[in-house]
Amino acid sequence: MSAAEAGALSPLGLGLERFRANRTALLAAAVILLFVLAALSAPWIAPHDPADADLFRRLQPPAWLEGGEWGFPLGCDSLGRDILSRLLFGARVSLLVAAIVICIAAVIGTLAGLAAGYLRGWTDTLIGRLVDTLLGFPYLVFAIGLMAMMGPGLHNIILVLVYKEWVFSCRVVRGETLAAREQDYVEAARALGAGPGHIMLREILPNVLSPVLVVATFRMAYVIIMEASLSFLGLGVQPPTPSWGSMVADGRDFLVDAWWVSTLPGLAILMLVLAINLASQGLRDAFDPRLHSA
Amino acid sequence: MTASRLLERLFQTLPVLLGVSLIVFLMITLTPGDPVEIMLADSRATPEQAAVLRHDLGLDRPLPERFLIFLGRALTGDFGISFFHRRPVWDVLVERLPATIELTLAAILLALAVAIPLGVAAAVKRDTWMDRALSAISLFGVSLPGFWFGILLILLFAVQWGIFPVGGRTSFDLEVARITGFLLIDTLLAGRLDAFGAALRHLALPAITLGLPTAALLARVVRSAMAEVLTSDYVLFAEAKGLSRGRVLLRHALKNALIPVVTVAAIETGSLLGGNMIVETVFGWPGLGRLVVESIFARNYPLVQAAVLFYAVTYVVLNFVADLLYTGLNPKVRL
Amino acid sequence: MAAARPAYAQARSREVRVGVAQDALTLDPANHRNRDTQNIIRNIHDGLLTRDVEMRVQPEIAESWRQIDARTFEFRLRPDIRFQSGDLLSAADIKFTFDRLAKDGAMGGQTSPRKGLLGPLQDTVVVDERTVRMHLAAPWPILPAMVPFQEVVNRRQFDRVGQEGMQTRPDGCGPFRLAEWRRGEAIILERFAAYYGGSTEIPGTGPAQIDRAIFRVIPENSTRVAGLLAGEVDIISELPASAMRQVEASQTAQVMKVNGTRSFFVAFNLARKPFDDIRVRRALNHALDKGAIISRILNNTATALRGVMSPDAFAFAADLPEYGYNLARARALLAEAGVAEGTELVIDTTAALKEIAEAIAALLSRTGLRVRAQIWEGAVLGPMWQAAERRRDRDMYLTSWGNGALDPSDIMVPTLRSGGRGNAAGFSNAEVDQLLDAAETEADQARRAEMYRRAQAIVTDQAPWLFLWLPQDIYGVSRRVTHWRPQADSRINLHRIRLAG
Amino acid sequence: MNPPLLSVRGLRTVFPTRRGPVVAADDVDLEIAEGEALGIVGESGSGKSVTFLSVLGLLRPPGRIEAGEILFAGRDLRRLPHAELRALRGRQMALAMQDALSALNPAFTIGTQVTETLLTHRIAPDMRAARAQAAALLTRVGIPAAAERLDDYPHQFSGGMRQRAMIAISLAARPRLLVADEPTTALDVTLRAQVLDLLDTLRREDGLALALITHDLAVVAERCPRVMVMYAGQVVESGPTEAVIARPRHPYTRGLLESLPRLEDPDRPLHPIPGQVPDLARLDPGCRFRNRCGMAIAECAAPVTLQPAGEGRLSRCIRAPEMAP
């Protein structure tokens, strides 16, 4: 690639171009978009009220199986609620939780990482110890403990997950910042009398954003699974709001008699997480400069 | 690693352990739910009896005092009495440890055994259909909720096909004396191959369920480490010497690629140890994880405190082991 | 399903395995308040009295008992009963057992959590080698109904192993002795050959018919069912109703049911609007299609209740009026009470009852109210609903109350008397209080029963609860198992069990 | 002249990329006879390394040889089964690399890495003999107390020792052809001379054929009778070193010479070549140097072939004749 051509694009633009060229990643991004759209438009496209129980439809099979009907295309759960509608509404919860958690965690983690990596000294030590302390705590024990402490509820789930997720972006940003603070452009800014705040936010931050993006998407997949695990332990979102995790967890007792109740949301999680992983892999391929030096 | 470096490391871990103890202590005491009320639930206890019990358990003292007492005792290895079992926490913990450790080690070894060949294959066949297929498989591994996958395995392999048992650690008709608590070792000590096989079969499904996501993660690490090593000059140079492909891959490349893998594996062992409660619950595996979850729900403070401290110590130790392994495998860092 | 018999499920003709959800917390009969723990302990230890499968109180270690006066009971012991250690049981052991249970600080400095189960028991006195007397601080006619909850321990064992040793080294006089306790995994019992034989009033005396009995801990429902179907365990407790069909279809196992003793209900927070209005409470009782839940979700394994008591219990009022399912009437009552459409109400419950709570919420919402379920951790929810000030903002509480004694005093006093520790609704009715208090000390059983029936009628009329049902306990049992039936008190008694083949 | 030991005709090596195929070596011809030294000069990315990796069969996927013929001692290496090619590699044709620090495996001792070659090609019957030979080899490249240092790891060697150890490994099996890719760049002047002297000696005494890849024209002038200049995947000029350096027949060669300091005239102003190498994935058929060439004319956009340019030389410039002095 000629330098002249490369010079015409910003690192971000360059990454986007590489991402666009990656068909798998594009497909994955399309799947995520589809899920997001489905979640957003759930109230209009869902055929039924997701909380509307009809015990006489208990465990009704999907339409293509014997005993199913097209009014309830994916069948019904143990309370006779339409699984398709619950999946659509569940997507809102699962995506919302994942997105909010990852955003908050990324912001906190990035700021902490910048401070630790740029200011060094006691700030770094303090943040480093905090990170170690949180990592020294087994995630599930931590999550269960906090959920027990704060009580059930969507906002508490988000809080519990954020508590630990920020650590991951923090670590990455700290490393990148350590490298960046030795770079010429930082030296130059410092020589021009820029304060630490300016240097961190204006000079270094733009350069550490792509790794944060990659870490954030990778962690998003974990967050979705964690939400499911909390549901398994009875600490998930409150009914009647469906989340995919709680749907899988609640349906597990019927795996033999009514596989669809648990399997369909399981597949939804699988697809979403798969798509997120593939997309983030594409992002990494597109944005990680180390992969393009050759 | 020099002695001073070792001391420094140890010193660094102190605030972590202190921090963890403080967090768990605060978390537990700020959590609503009174262990006394739970213990006396369904009973006809009077408030006076509750007060007596509360005093017996030391729950009537002020918070800072309780924390200091806990710390002081923990230093001497005394973690108090488990509210529910009415026995020393340490004894209760130790009974459950071998099962958890056995499961964790089995899972991590299984993960490595799967991840290394797959990761190497993916790296060697980089950007081919095989690479893509392997990465898709590994993505599946991290995309499944563990409890769901575990139940699915039970239904297929245990109920439908009867290949593996449903749960538990061993068959009851194949008994050996439990010396170490690690069944795989005890059965061999007893020279009972049939019992060893039974223990292994019981271990299979939980270890697969627990190890699969880790295998997927490690396969990625192996792949990227191996891919990086394969572009290195020393691999090219080794090939230029006319060495066989196998020797180049398995000796020259793999030995270097394993350095980050082993490091990650050591740290992952820590997460598996602290993250196996779901698998333990699904498979009725009598380990620490399940005990801790039950203890949190039952507000069995002393046990939760001790267990979390144990996890934190393992985390620190495993990080340390990862460091040692990194050093051991990498002559360059040997100081 | 499971056509192939796996190798490790081979026929074990003299070993029974029971899959349970929870490990025993301790093997000390005095040191727990836990049903699963007692189920296991009861196979190692026998009691002074016991209950047969019909829930009649029967002598066990005692040969007979009599009430001497309102505050004194006398028990005559059977001769030649030996503990598993070989020690001979005597009246001193009975005194030791009951003192340890009933006296403050008598359990190694602590007080037994089971003390409350013995009511006003004050002292146990040895009359001679084979006779003890229990002295009560106040008249308490249900003592014989409560004694089966306690097991007799060996005082010499306590001297040998101490309070801590009692937790893990039981020395009972029951049909099985402890072989090994693998914490969290299994409790392995073996036949006690010198067993005195158990209650003479229950057929099938003598030592146990099997060599080993194993209680295996399998917490996850699906796994427990899978274990039964794969032939790894012979009896499982707490079979989910949803798995009944699967078990019946397996041909190797069957479903066994017994009426439980636990009444389910939704307590209304009477101190809070709109539940202070009796029309609202009655409306909700009319609004719930209990039959639908019982038939669809519970698989017809529950009996609908019109009031508090189990039909099997003493003094059950069979002629209570029913709040029949009538949505129109429910709506009318709500309108009359001025409850607006769309009013939001919350049912609190724990994760184990999530499905039921959601179903109730969905069905009640058909009145036009917006009812939803909220899941709490048991450790938080119970205490919250116990105290009036802590439940101030809560609406409804889906819960249950066990009545192992099958006597109204065991359920109505705690849950419906003013200030009762289980009175989540905050129900307070002077006449009910008076009736319950009087019945507590009434020695004439017929008069006692009449008082309780009157109290039940008032409660049903006042509707402090949404009355639900009495579920059956459901067990999955291998077809190899004979001579075993589930019991209403949820005991898993393996003394007389036999295996075919 | 002897029949050439190595003869490459029309070599075309291609790397497919997402942006299209990159022809890293385009229609490369070259010959090296026994005992001869050929210097290959060009900027990084000019295709000189790729050409010889193709020869050695060490191309990294997805790179592959699309066309051409590689004759080594009369055998077409492209038609040879993998196993036979491997048997030749290290034994008859060897590679020495620029950076010994990265070429030596950090996880193995120097001794292991030397004996490995000896044992693989059965030059030493057993480990004991292999270690003795290895020590001798290391001594020969000037490593003191070689026998004691066999169990050292590469990072325990100094930079110069490492480089010599690496060359010792390359020469361990006494190959007939050595491809030396910038083997002395990392060394100081004295060590450089020492290593190059050793190579000269081997060339004279054993008839070692040497392909010396470098961008250091001074080294080529001193050690290689013949030189080949590559640019953007193509050979742009080749011929006797003395003539090429004295009278370049391609503007690129001249540019290279002008960008280098000269020992005899250190004060001469340096003229780096302006502009950049074209994107190899977006090439047109014309001269690839013309965007940087001061002599470029409209005709340069037409395809250019290597043409004889007198004195036994070839040039890929249509204006080569004008460059004659």
Q: How many CB atoms lie within 10 A of CB C11?
A: 12
Q: Chain D contact for A233, CB < 8 A? A: no
Q: How many CB atoms lie within 10 A of CB A201?
A: 13
Same domain assignment for residues D87 and D26: yes
Return the sign of the alpha-carbon dihedral for residues D114, D115, D119, D123: positive
Same domain assignment for residues C297 and C219: no
Q: What's the longest Cα–Cα distance across chain B?
A: 85
The 3-state DSSP class for residue B297 equals: helix
Same domain assignment for residues D162 and D113: yes
Question: What's the domain range around D279?
Answer: 6-92+177-323
Sheet of C344-350, strand order: C370-376, C344-350, C396-402, C262-268, C465-467
Closest by CA to C16, choosing from C257, C187, C132, C244, is C187
- Write the CATH number for A128: 1.10.3720.10
Give the nearest partner residue to B277 out of A140, A277, A294, using CB atoms.
A140
Whether B86 sits inside 8 A of C119 (CB atoms) is no
- The chain B residue lying nearest A133, using CA atoms, is B16
Cβ-Cβ contacts under 8 Å, B251 against chain D: 108
Tens of pLDDT, residues A111-123: 999 998 888 888 8
Q: How many structural domains comprise chain C?
A: 2
pLDDT at B3: 66
pLDDT at A294: 31
Q: How many structural domains comprise chain A?
A: 1
Closest by CA to D90, choosing from B234, B230, B243, is B243
The verdict on residue D1 lying in a domain is no
Cβ-Cβ contacts under 8 Å, B238 against chain D: 105, 116
The verdict on residue A266 lying in a domain is yes
Whether A2 sits inside 8 A of D279 (CB atoms) is yes
- The chain A residue lying nearest D18, using CA atoms, is A21
Same domain assignment for residues D220 and D297: yes
The verdict on residue A246 lying in a domain is yes
Greater pLDDT, B285 or A183: B285
Same domain assignment for residues D116 and D241: no
Confidence of residue C174 (pLDDT cuts 50, 70, 90): very high
Residue contacts between B and C (CB atoms, under 8 Å):
170
Residue type, position B326, single letter: Y
DSSP state of A78: T
The 3-state DSSP class for residue C427 equals: coil
DSSP state of B236: H
Q: What's the longest Cα–Cα distance across chain A?
A: 76
Same domain assignment for residues C232 and C277: no
Report whether pLDDT(A291) > 60: no
**From CA C38, how far away is CA C44, in angstroms rounded?**
10
Question: If you average pLDDT over each of B111-120, C453-462, D34-43, which comes out highest?
Answer: C453-462
Report whether pLDDT(D2) > 70: no
Cα separations in angstroms, B299 against A25, B83, B293: 46, 9, 10
Tens of pLDDT, residues A188-233: 888 888 888 888 888 888 878 777 877 787 788 788 888 888 887 7
Return the sign of the alpha-carbon dihedral for residues D72, D75, D78, D84: negative
Question: If you average pLDDT over each of A237-241, B298-302, C43-47, D37-41, which comes out highest?
Answer: C43-47
Same domain assignment for residues C338 and C429: yes
Instruction: Map out the domains of chain B with their CATH numbers.
Output: 14-78 (no CATH), 96-333 (1.10.3720.10)
Confidence of residue C3 (pLDDT cuts 50, 70, 90): very low
**From CA A140, how far away is CA A222, in angstroms rounded?**
12
The verdict on residue C245 lying in a domain is no
Determine which helix (DSSP H) or strand (DSSP E) holds D10, and give its type and residue range. strand D4-17
Please provide the size of chain C in residues. 501
Cβ-Cβ contacts under 8 Å, A56 against chain C: 292, 296
Closest by CA to C327, choosing from C359, C367, C363, is C367
- Write the CATH number for C295: 3.10.105.10
Same domain assignment for residues D223 and D306: yes
**From CA B77, how far away is CA A176, in angstroms rounded?**
41
Give the nearest partner residue to B166 out of C212, C230, C384, using CB atoms.
C230
The verdict on residue C67 lying in a domain is yes
Cβ-Cβ contacts under 8 Å, C168 against chain B: 87
The verdict on residue A181 lying in a domain is yes
The 3-state DSSP class for residue D170 equals: helix
Class of residue D247 by CB neighbours under 10 A (exposed 0-12, middle 13-18, buried 19+): middle
Interface of A with C in 135-164 (CB under 8 A): 147-148, 151-152
Q: How many structural domains comprise chain D?
A: 2
Question: What's the domain range around C14?
Answer: 8-237+479-499
Residue type, position A171, single letter: R
Same domain assignment for residues C466 and C487: no
**Beta-bridge partner residues of C471:** C302
ipTM (interface pTM): 0.78
Same domain assignment for residues C392 and C409: yes
Under 8 Å between Cβ of D54 and D78: no
| Helices first, then strands: H and E counts in chain C | 14, 21
The verdict on residue C252 lying in a domain is no
Cα separations in angstroms, A79 against A50, A251, C373, C469, D259: 11, 11, 13, 18, 82
Tens of pLDDT, residues B148-160: 888 888 888 887 8
pLDDT at A6: 41
Tens of pLDDT, residues B47-58: 776 777 777 777
Cα separations in angstroms, C21 against B42, C184, C214: 19, 10, 13
Whether D60 sits inside 8 A of B231 (CB atoms) is yes
Same domain assignment for residues C333 and C417: yes
Same domain assignment for residues C398 and C307: yes
List own/partner pairs for B85-89 with CB under 8 A and 24 or more apart.
Answer: B85/C25, B85/C26, B85/C167, B86/C26, B86/C28, B86/C31, B86/C164, B86/C167, B87/C26, B87/C164, B87/C167, B87/C168, B89/B302, B89/B303, B89/B306
Model-level pTM? 0.81
**From CA D11, how far away is CA D18, in angstroms rounded?**
23
Locus of tokens 């964690």: A226
pLDDT at C6: 43
Give the nearest partner residue to A140 out of B136, B155, B274, using CB atoms.
B274
Tens of pLDDT, residues B222-273: 988 888 888 888 888 888 888 888 888 888 888 888 888 888 888 888 888 8
**From CA C490, how far away is CA C481, in angstroms rounded?**
17
Cβ-Cβ contacts under 8 Å, B168 against chain C: 185-186, 216, 218, 232
Whether D278 sits inside 8 A of A2 (CB atoms) is yes
Whether D279 sits inside 8 A of A21 (CB atoms) is no
Same domain assignment for residues D199 and D60: yes
Q: How many CB atoms lie within 10 A of CB C307?
A: 23
Under 8 Å between Cβ of C28 and C170: yes
The verdict on residue D79 lying in a domain is yes
Cα separations in angstroms, C301 against A153, C436, C479, C491: 32, 30, 20, 18
**From CA C228, how far away is CA C476, in angstroms rounded?**
7
Class of residue B71 by CB neighbours under 10 A (exposed 0-12, middle 13-18, buried 19+): middle
Cβ-Cβ contacts under 8 Å, A252 against chain C: 222
Question: What's the domain range around A246?
Answer: 25-42+86-291
**Between chain D and chain C, are at least 3 CB pairs below 8 A?**
no
Cβ-Cβ contacts under 8 Å, D277 against chain A: 2
**From CA B142, how far away is CA B140, in angstroms rounded?**
5
- Write the CATH number for D181: 3.40.50.300
The verdict on residue D316 lying in a domain is yes
For testing contact with chain D, the best of B228, B241, B244, B255 (most D CBs within 10 A): B241
The verdict on residue D75 lying in a domain is yes
Q: Show the 3-state SS of C393-415.
A: CCCEEEEEEECCCCCHHHCHHHH
**From CA C280, how far away is CA C273, in angstroms rounded?**
9
Sheet of D75-76, strand order: D20-33, D4-17, D64-72, D75-76
Same domain assignment for residues C376 and C296: yes
pLDDT at B335: 38
Tokens representing residue D294 in the block = 């001061």
Cβ-Cβ contacts under 8 Å, A257 against chain C: 242-243, 245-246
H helices of D41-108, in order, are: 48-56, 82-88, 100-103
Closest by CA to A258, choosing from A90, A67, A70, is A67
**From CA D210, how far away is CA D56, in angstroms rounded?**
13
The 3-state DSSP class for residue A273 equals: helix
Same domain assignment for residues C402 and C420: yes
Tokens representing residue C139 in the block = 């008249």
Give the nearest partner residue to C383 out of B34, B43, B45, using CB atoms.
B34
How confident is the prediction for chain C on average, in pLDDT? Answer: 90
Neighbours of chain A (3+ CB pairs under 8 A): B, C, D
The 3-state DSSP class for residue C258 equals: strand
Whether B45 sits inside 8 A of C117 (CB atoms) is no
Taking each helix axis from N to C end, the angle separating A259-287 and A23-40, rounded to the nearest 10 degrees, works out to 130
pLDDT at A198: 83
Locus of tokens 């009944």: C244
Cβ-Cβ contacts under 8 Å, C372 against chain A: 51, 238-240
Same domain assignment for residues C426 and C392: yes
Tens of pLDDT, residues C313-345: 999 999 999 999 999 999 999 999 999 999 999
Tens of pLDDT, residues D110-163: 988 989 888 888 888 889 999 999 999 898 888 888 888 898 888 888 888 888
Same domain assignment for residues D193 and D299: yes
**From CA B147, how far away is CA A246, in angstroms rounded?**
12
The verdict on residue A9 lying in a domain is no
**From CA D19, how far away is CA D24, in angstroms rounded?**
14
Whether A2 sits inside 8 A of D18 (CB atoms) is no
| Nearest-CA distance D47 → chain A (Å) | 14
**From CA A171, how far away is CA A131, in angstroms rounded?**
8
Same domain assignment for residues C271 and C134: no
The verdict on residue C142 lying in a domain is yes
Same domain assignment for residues D86 and D197: yes
Same domain assignment for residues D20 and D169: no
The verdict on residue A56 lying in a domain is no
Cβ-Cβ contacts under 8 Å, D155 against chain B: 331-332
Q: How many CB atoms lie within 10 A of CB C300?
A: 13
- Write the CATH number for C212: 3.40.190.10
**From CA B234, how far away is CA B240, in angstroms rounded?**
9
Across B23-38, average pLDDT? 74
Same domain assignment for residues C292 and C177: no
List own/partner pairs for B290-295 with CB under 8 A and 24 or more apart.
Answer: B290/C184, B290/C219, B291/B92, B291/B93, B291/B96, B291/C184, B292/A141, B293/A140, B293/A141, B293/A144, B293/A233, B295/B82, B295/B84
Across C185-198, average pLDDT? 93
| Nearest-CA distance A230 → chain B (Å) | 10
Interface of A with C in 188-247 (CB under 8 A): 234-235, 238-240
Greater pLDDT, C78 or B274: C78
Class of residue B259 by CB neighbours under 10 A (exposed 0-12, middle 13-18, buried 19+): buried
Q: How many CB atoms lie within 10 A of CB C99?
A: 16
Chain D positions with Cβ closer than 8 Å to A: 18-19, 276-279, 281-282
Tens of pLDDT, residues B174-226: 667 777 878 888 888 888 888 888 888 899 999 999 998 889 888 888 988 88
**From CA C57, how far away is CA C158, in angstroms rounded?**
28
Locus of tokens 């944060």: A212
Interface of C with A in 369-428 (CB under 8 A): 372-377, 379-380
For testing contact with chain B, the best of D105, D110, D121, D155 (most B CBs within 10 A): D105
Determine which helix (DSSP H) or strand (DSSP E) holds C498, and give its type and residue range. strand C498-499
For testing contact with chain A, the best of B100, B104, B139 (most A CBs within 10 A): B139
